[in-house]
Amino acid sequence: MIIRSFCRRPAAFQALAAAPARCSAAPSVRHIHHRPALANEADLVENGIPGLMSPAQFKIAWTDYQQHMMDQLNYMTAGTPFDNQSPKNLILEWARDPTKAGGFNPASMAWNNHAFFKGINTNPTITSRPSEALDLALTTNFSSLASLRETFLMTAESMFGPGFVWLVQQKENRFPFRILTTYIAGSPLSGAHYRRQSQDLNTENENSFSGVKNMVGSFGSSAPANLNPKKPLGGVDVVPLLCVNTWEHVWLHDYGVKGKSEYLARWWDRINWDEVAQYATLEKTRMSQNQFYG
Amino acid sequence: MIVRSVALRHGRHAIASNFLSRRFLASQVDSIEAAAENSIKQLQSLETQLNSGVPIPEPSAEPDLFSRSSTVAEQYQLFKQQQKLTQTLGSDISAHYKPHTLLSNPPSPADVTLELLLAAEAHQGHATSLWNPANARYIHGVRQGIHIISLDVTAAHLRRASKVVQEVSKRGGIVLFVGTRDGQDTAVVRAAQLAKGYHLFERWIPGSITNGQQILGKCATKVMNEKDEVVPGFDEQLYERPVLKPDLVVCVNPMENYVLLHECALNNIPTIGVIDTNADPTWVTYPIPANDDSLRCIQVIAGVLGRAGEAGQKQRLELAEKGQITYRPAQGLVAPGEDDLTTASPEVNQEIREKVFHDTESIVDADELSDKIDADANHEGDGRRIRVTS
């Protein structure tokens, strides 16, 4: 069993490809996972994302990297019972088990990366702006869109190392919209909270995150009523709406090592707010039309 | 809040140290410095605003979406919406076999292809030494010591059998799906559901057709009109009616159900069966040469026949909507609320009177006559229970 798990480490992928005779259980890789198609992808391959990525940068960030994640996933799942599972199912399945990190990481990165590129407005002639309902919701939560932008980009800039920054909607009464960071290959899905990786533990006090909580007086006939609402079905208590990929390979080619803030600023102008509204649960206002300024 | 603490931990110091310590180009650095100061001021003001509890503009008078605890149905609805959006993110998965779809969404007769039958292992027969030579016409050849069934022959026979099921269902016949081996129950039940027929996955009780009145006599029956609506008020009449027999029997493991198939033959009930290379094709009316040992093959065949039955039922109901009845209605039933004799049809009355005059030698009393008339009115067919009304 140990031997088999070592065989399926992605680091061993290259070695195994060269010397298949070493591992007794090396499976022939069947290509189940394919790189998903983005809207007008041919255009993007040729011209990149106007205002954000050059064609070469887009190739690195999407074409090559996503394909690399597909290859990793195919290698990790071929011949196993998880053969034909979607990346989301794999994330939820493997989040709890550290020994399955070799499979969790490519699944999570594939999901996050696709979510990132899907949320970008790739049409150069259209400037996307939040709909009225969304604008209202965000203003309620962050006091203004400008302050949301500031907080969001500041958070992304201050994260040291690769990761993603998400705008999520929680199931809460007053301020459901929150900003969530996931370092490296962390996942915002609530079912994969074991691997959320929202803090850099090197700079945090590890004792503050210990799971040990004093449960004295928390249950029984004299205990105070639990006012927290029950968790909803299927773990839909954290809904990711929008994300930015802060891994260096996504912006290094175009912006250089110091160009992170410029990349983030340009990305903010390229957000597709329609996608955000699609994922969000918004209150109905009288005029909730998308505003497009072309 | 996580956001603010992260920014404060890294951002403020980072910005301060980065920009304030370098003063190479006065104008540029000044403006950058000013911008940095601005950002920090904004953050601070944001902090103070939130901390001080300044009232933030309420969105509207409408209640917040999450302010009331949502019902399970609403949660499920939201879950399903999210599933649709997030499930497909990450990769495109190539088409593959999903076993549950054979039961949840079985193929129809039009979807039967040789590839489907091959993937379902329908071509695999038994060892050549175990064959029944009567099946020679269905066998393509030999490979690895087993007979290989011709899939084009299988497909043709399956299509014929599905036509039979469809037409019997269209005419309102009773179709019984039988599969008594382990694992065949779900396939058989699903086929019966689709075809609005009946299923059997436990042992067939011998005599259920030939001795039906004894074994199934206590089973409930009901009267339905042409639109499949139950018509109440026939309980007393149903009590005396003979037990029902199927009009078509589909058996997916004939090797273990000889008695059932023999009873059907004795009662002129057509049968459809999955005939393997070692089975006897003469046991059934419409053989389907295929592998009866593969559950996947049985699910495909039962699914196809179930879909055919579903199509037939649909046709029948469509014709019923137009007022066309595709079958001969049950004989001898009297509409509820009417008297047995007085308002019975003249033909029935005539029949009864004739019977009475044939049977009785001499009539002594009017009472006796009325008793005999009552007895005859209640006497139905042959070998049934006779109920004498007072």
Query: Where are chain B's structural domains?
Result: 101-209+245-321, 346-389
A29 vs B: CB within 8 A: no
The tokens for B22 are 């370098």
Q: Identify whether A5 is part of a domain.
A: no
Topology of the domain comprising B101-209+245-321 = Rossmann fold (3.40.50)
Q: Identify whether A206 is part of a domain.
A: no
Nearest alpha-carbon partner for B58 in A286, A174, A30 = A174
Total domains in chain A come to 1
- Determine contact, residues B125/B291, Cβ cutoff 8 Å: yes
Tell me which chain A residue has its CA closest to the CA of residue B67: A173
Q: Identify whether A181 is part of a domain.
A: yes
A115 vs B: CB within 8 A: yes
**Which positions in chain A touch B11 (Cβ < 8 Å)?**
154-155, 157-158
* CATH code (residue A161): 3.55.40.20
Pick from A111, A236, A279: CB nearest B90: A111
A176 vs B: CB within 8 A: yes
Q: What is the distance between the terminal CA atoms of chain A, rounded to a whole angstrom?
A: 59
Q: Identify whether A1 is part of a domain.
A: no
A83 vs B: CB within 8 A: yes
Pick from B9, B85, B92: CB nearest A279: B85
**Which positions in chain A touch B72 (Cβ < 8 Å)?**
233
SS3 A166: strand
A110 vs B: CB within 8 A: yes
Query: Which pTM does this prediction carry?
Result: 0.69
d(CA B1, CA A175): 12
A137 vs B: CB within 8 A: yes
* Cβ separation B75–A278 shorter than 8 A: no
SS3 B272: strand
The per-residue pLDDT string of chain A (294 residues; one tens digit each, 9 = 90 and over) reads 444 454 566 655 554 444 444 444 545 566 899 999 999 999 999 999 999 999 999 999 999 999 999 999 999 999 899 999 999 999 999 999 999 999 999 999 999 999 999 999 999 999 999 999 999 999 999 999 999 999 999 999 999 999 999 999 988 667 899 999 999 999 999 889 999 999 888 888 767 665 556 778 878 888 887 776 666 666 668 899 999 999 999 999 999 999 999 999 999 999 999 999 999 988 765 443 444 444
**Which positions in chain A touch B40 (Cβ < 8 Å)?**
none
Tell me which chain B residue has its CA closest to the CA of residue A136: B59
Q: Identify whether A24 is part of a domain.
A: no
**Which positions in chain A touch B64 (Cβ < 8 Å)?**
173-174, 283
Residues of chain B with pLDDT under 70: 1-36, 43, 45-70, 338-390
ipTM summary value: 0.79
SS3 B249: strand
Look up the domain containing A83 and give its range: 11-17+35-121+130-195+216-293
* Cβ separation B96–A84 shorter than 8 A: yes
CA distance A98 to chain B (A): 21
What contacts B210, CB < 8 A, 6 or more positions away? B263, B266, B267
